[in-house]
Amino acid sequence: MKRFSLALGLALALGLGGYFGFAEIASGVRGAGWGILAVIAFHPVQMVFSALGWRVLVQGPLAPGLIAFTGLRWIREGVNNLLPVAQIGGEVVGARLLRRHGVSLAAGGASVTVDLTIEFLTQVIFTLIGLALLIFLLHDPGIVPWAIGAVALGGAVVALLVAAQRSGLFHILERSLVRLAERRPAWSALGEVAGLDRAIQALYASPARLGWSCLHHLMSWLLGGLEVMIALHVVGVSVDFREALIIESLGQAFRAVGFAIPGSLGVQEGGFIIACGLFGVSPQAAIELSLLKRVREVALGLPALIAWQVIETRPLAEPVGVPARMKAAADGD
């Protein structure tokens, strides 16, 4: 299935590039010159706000600082953007790496689960902002039903995610993993997930933490509009901040829809062609915008993957939160 989705994405991306002209698109990207560095250098600002949104969800005095969380967010994005993991592998890696900072697997797993949900919720809000601005700028009532449908669909997905987390689904998963840890000493580290469901419920019972996380993540999404302004500027296209916000919100919405395709290949490009076309931006420039974002993902993602592997090679000093009887059993083997 992954091979099929990857092939489909590549075919769509190549088809769009061929239809609108590889030579023109390549010329535009080359013309960006050193401006590409500006696109790359701006994204860490967004990562800091995303890291803040995650950090407030990790409770306890042992929670790492902002620098550590920013590094973990960097690795999460690198895994999600460059590996065929359907946009959630980075969260698993993030919870695992939090364990090395003294956070139990249960608390870390709860934090990334709720953080991912809030990130998606704020994306729905961001899309709603973009659609509202679009309706205001274009004065086209025909857009309203599409806007309502898109927001309703996103809201329904968020509601399902929250309902699954609040209904005990993770309690079932937690019990299964703990039983596996008890039966197989080699998997004893999974015993740390004991308390995962309780930790998730505790986070949902803390409206202040949820509110701050939403605020930080929404700020990160809004900064994406500035990234679009910078990227289009370096390829010779000028848009104002409102137009850039609309382009980014719709482009990210298309990317979310194409989550099953690694990197949303082709889907992201098609989304930007549609969004940019609303403001008279050529398809070539829209694809150049998408390519600059992909260059940024690779430029930041490859070092992140290397950093992840380096961290994984270091021995874990002390397992966190493993029940004493499980540790004793493991030591006995």
Asked if residue 332 belongs to a domain, the reply is no
pLDDT tens-place string over residues 20-46: 777 778 777 787 888 899 999 999 999
Q: Which has more pLDDT, 332 or 253?
A: 253
Give the amino acid at 30.
R
Question: For the chain, what is the mean pLDDT?
Answer: 81
Predicted confidence at residue 141, as pLDDT, reads 62
Q: How confident is the model at residue 327 (pLDDT cuts 50, 70, 90)?
A: very low
- Exposure string of 54-78, with b = 16+ CB inside 10 Å and e = fewer, is bbbbbbeeebbeeebbbbbbbbbbb
Q: What percent of the chain has pLDDT over 70?
A: 78
CB neighbours of 305 closer than 8 A, spacing ≥ 6? Answer: 75, 78, 79, 82, 83
pTM, entire model: 0.84
pLDDT tens-place string over residues 282-308: 999 999 999 999 999 999 999 999 999
Calculate the alpha carbon distances from 201 to 106, 171, 320 in Å.
Answer: 12, 10, 21
Supply the DSSP symbol for 315: P
Q: How confident is the model at residue 95 (pLDDT cuts 50, 70, 90)?
A: confident
Q: Is the pLDDT of residue 267 over 80?
A: yes
Predicted confidence at residue 260, as pLDDT, reads 73
Q: Provide the phi-psi class of 222: left if phi over 0, else alpha when psi is between -120 and 50, else beta.
A: alpha
Asked if residue 302 belongs to a domain, the reply is yes
Question: What does the block give as tokens for 37?
Answer: 């560095």
CB neighbours of 48 closer than 8 A, spacing ≥ 6? Answer: 66, 70
Asked if residue 35 belongs to a domain, the reply is yes
Closest C-alpha among 284, 259, 260 to residue 272 = 284
- Which range among 140-154, 163-177, 230-244, 251-265 shows the weakest confidence by mean pLDDT? 163-177
Asked if residue 333 belongs to a domain, the reply is no
Count of structural domains, the chain: 1
pLDDT tens-place string over residues 155-210: 787 778 777 776 666 656 555 555 544 454 444 455 566 677 788 888 888 999 99
- Exposure string of 166-196, with b = 16+ CB inside 10 Å and e = fewer, is eeeebeeebeebbeebbeeeeebbbbbbbbb
Closest C-alpha among 299, 307, 303, 305 to residue 68 = 307
* Residue-wise DSSP of 268-280: HHHHHHHHHHTTT
* Residue-wise DSSP of 67-135: HHHHHHHHHHHHHHHHSSSTTTHHHHHHHHHHHTTT--HHHHHHHHHHHHHHHHHHHHHHHHHHHHHHH
Let me know: does 218 contact 49? Beta carbons within 8 Å: no
Q: Is the pLDDT of residue 319 over 50?
A: no
Segments in the chain forming alpha helices (H): 2-20, 22-32, 35-55, 66-82, 89-99, 105-138, 143-166, 169-183, 196-204, 207-234, 241-257, 267-277, 283-313, 324-332
Q: What percent of the chain has pLDDT over 90?
A: 38
Let me know: does 229 contact 140? Beta carbons within 8 Å: no
Burial of 39 (0-12, 13-18, 19+ CB in 10 A): buried
Predicted confidence at residue 67, as pLDDT, reads 94
Q: Is the pLDDT of residue 274 over 70?
A: yes
Predicted confidence at residue 146, as pLDDT, reads 66
The domain of 170 spans 2-327
Q: Is the pLDDT of residue 322 over 70?
A: no
